[in-house]
Amino acid sequence: AERIPELKDFYQAMVALAEDQALLSDPPAGFNALIANFHFTSTEKHQLKRLLERWSAVNTEDISKEWLDKGTGGAKRGADILTALEVALAKSILQA
């Protein structure tokens, strides 16, 4: 029981390392442009990467900044961008 804080610290370090490692692989199209234009936390960057990978599997076109501005109402938060991408991805899957 007295070593639980050490285990929690170790676990958090491993989660951060796994997130960093996942971001080291080649990013999907649009990833670098999005993180340059919008604020994403580390976790949101990981989620963004996975969403863009799913997007490219369903759609032939890349996400454009104009589309994001229209689809998110000009939001700057990463969470808003992720929500807009999830909605757009769901619509794309239903249309396919």
Structure tokens at 27: 């990013």
Of the two residues 9 and 62, the one the predictor is more confident about is 9
Tokens of 7: 């285990």
11-21: average pLDDT:
82
- Is-contact 54 89, C-beta < 8 A? yes
Q: Is the pTM of this model over 0.75?
A: no
Q: How far apart are the first and last CA of the chain?
A: 52
Q: Please state, in angstroms and rounded to a whole number, the distance separating the CA atoms of residues 69 and 81.
A: 9
Torsion 35-77-21-49 (CA) sign: negative
Window from 6-10, 43-47, 57-61, 83-87 with minimum mean pLDDT: 57-61
